[in-house]
Amino acid sequence: MSEFVKELTPQLIKWRREFHQYPELGFMEYVTTYKLAKELQQLGFQIHIGREAMDGVSRLGMPDEAQLAEQEKKALEAGVPEDWLAHMQGGFTGVVAEWDTGKSGDHFGFRFDIDALPIQEAAEETHLPSQENFSSDNAQTMHACGHDGHMTIGLGVASYIAAHHEQLEGKFTLLFQPAEEGGRGAKAMVEKGWLDDVDYFYSGHIGIKPLPVGHVAATVNGFLASAKFNVSFHGASSHAGMHPELGKNALLAAAAAATNLYAIPRHSDGVTRINVGKMTAGSGRNIIPEDAVLEVETRGETQKINSYMLTEAKRVVQAAALMHDVACEIDEVGVTEGITCDPELIDSIQSACTSAGFVKKVLPAADVSGSEDASFMINRVQQHGGKATYMLFGTELGHPHHHPAFDFQEEVLPVAVETFIRIIEGGASIE
């Protein structure tokens, strides 16, 4: 299989650079979804897009109608056919690809996230995309977390399944998931039931922590449950000099909330986090600010601890609004759960990769932080009796994830593809 991966590597690099050059934000990955679906269709997979792929009610943090309409227009201009766009219209992006060999065997599930971030990509000469002329063509949008690599890996895995399906057994479901950033998209796919009869589920990430290329972590520890919410404060505008007493200052309410959120007592049972990432308010120095918006997130080592942080955060926000006599609305726009990987998979993954050409070392586990909405998929598989894990694929990290100059070593792509191929070949099942 190493020879297959070696021959595929130039195509992996080509796919990665094409995806990197046209990044799209969550639930607006119209061009990306079309390109993925066409490739998968040509390979022979049964594909599902639009409302077939995800449950609309379970989506969180949706872009507004104007944003969706603008990106749909751009997708048409970029060559997405109208009949394809009709299926995705309204933010129904992402694709599910199925291959049933017709032979008795395990059902394998894989997840690959596809969305980008609202970041303006760096133009410095030391940045590989700048050197090789595949930097983002979309202003204020960038693949700054490796998802361009993840969906490339997914196409590599799909290429193997298509080429070797006669020798394989069982069923394969590949989920190319939108809107991972902010914990918004996975639950919508889970609620369509794609994973309810999966025996083994695998997802993973390029990087997160720096490891040499060729090193793979079979499991991770440390992902936190999280909640994302926006707060809108509504007060009353007035002249700041002539009638300040008639104003109700939404900016001050937002500022009071922002500072006091960080004063929430930490929980004795485990790790907690809180962050106010954005505040927008005011229109001029002599105008009492009528409106203000905060973007906030909480995290906790367990769902119970995160629930504590979220409850306290809402209390602080409402108290700040009351203190400044303004109204407030809280809109929950994202959520993730905790992850516990199945340790039984460690030995089998290590065994599967023993004779691999690109994989040099399989570590039992890696300690991480942050959050992942693949948690919904992992937890659903485990709730239905299956086994699941989240893996890391090593690369040097010259800049952290979500940085304008983020990049990864493209040599990690064949490593990840080979890892999944070895798993599929049967070495990662539990005897």
Q: What is the CATH number of the domain that holds 419?
A: 3.40.630.10
- pLDDT bin (cut points 50, 70, 90) of residue 429 is very low
Which whole-number Å values give the CA distances from 268 to 265, 272, 370, in the listed order?
A: 9, 9, 19
* CA 331 to chain CA centroid, nearest Å: 20
Model pLDDT for residues 291-327, shown as the tens digit of each residue: 999 999 999 999 999 999 999 999 999 999 999 999 9
Distance CA 307, CA 225 (A): 9
Residues 6+ away with beta carbon under 8 Å from 409:
213, 395, 396
Same-domain check for residues 161 and 18: yes
- In this structure, are 192 and 250 located in the same domain? no
Q: Which two tokens stand for residue 203?
A: 């997802």
Task: Give me the catalytic one of 29, 39, 106, 113.
Answer: 113
* Cβ–Cβ under 8 Å, residues 203 and 377: yes
What is the model's pTM? 0.94
Angle between helices 30-43 and 65-77 (to 10 degrees): 50
Residues 187 and 255 in one domain: no
From the CB of residue 347, how many other CB atoms can be counted at a distance below 10 Å? 15
Q: How far apart are CA 258 and CA 252, in angstroms?
A: 10
| 247 vs 326: CA distance, rounded Å | 10
SS3 of the chain: helix, strand, coil, percent, to 5: 35, 20, 40
181 is catalytic: yes
CATH number of the domain that residue 311 is part of: 3.30.70.360
Shared domain check, 198 and 72: yes
167 with 263, same domain: the answer is no
Statement to judge: residues 293 and 201 lie in one domain: no
Contact 250, 281 (CB under 8 A): yes
Same domain, 289 and 192: no
Residue 180 sits in the same domain as residue 238: no
- pLDDT of 2: 81
With a pLDDT cut of 90, the percent of the chain lying above it is: 97
User: Alpha helices, DSSP H only, in 192-237?
Assistant: none
- Per-residue pLDDT tens digits for 345-359: 999 999 999 989 999
410 is catalytic: no
Nearest to 320, CA basis, from 344, 339, 292, 340? 292
In sequence order, which ranges of 213-340 are alpha helices (DSSP H)? 250-261, 303-323
Q: Which of 33, 380, 38, 22 is nearest to 188 (CA)?
A: 380
Pair (86, 139) in one structural domain = yes
Per-residue pLDDT band at 201 (split at 50, 70, 90):
very high
Q: How many domains does the chain have?
A: 2
Nearest residue to 114 (alpha-carbon basis) of 187, 202, 190, 27: 27
Interatomic CA distance for residues 58 and 102, integer angstroms: 32
* Boundary of a domain, candidates 318, 336, 354: 336
pLDDT at 56 over 60: yes
Give the end of a domain, one of 336, 351, 370.
Answer: 336
Q: pLDDT band for position 428 (50/70/90)? A: very low
Among candidate residues 256, 276, 274, the one with its CA nearest the CA of residue 266: 274
Provide the 10 A C-beta neighbour count for residue 49. Answer: 22
| Whether residue 159 sits in one domain with residue 81 | yes
- When pLDDT is cut at 50, 70 and 90, the band that residue 104 belongs to is very high
Candidate list 121, 180, 181, 418, residue with the active-site label: 181
Tell whether the model's pLDDT for residue 427 goes beyond 90: no
At residue 430 the predicted structure's pLDDT band, cuts being 50, 70 and 90, is very low
The answer on 344 and 205 residing in a single domain is yes
Do 388 and 408 lie in one domain? The reply is: yes
Share of the chain above pLDDT 70, in %: 99
Q: Which of 316, 221, 216 is nearest to 276 (CA)?
A: 316
d(CA 108, CA 429): 10
Q: When comparing pLDDT for 238 and 429, which is higher?
A: 238
- Mean pLDDT, the chain, whole residue set: 96
> Last residue of some domain: 314, 336, 358?
336
What single string gives the DSSP state of each residue in 367-423?
E--S--THHHHHHHHHHTT-EEEEEEE----SS-TT-TT----TTHHHHHHHHHHHI
Q: Which domain holds residue 244?
A: 225-336
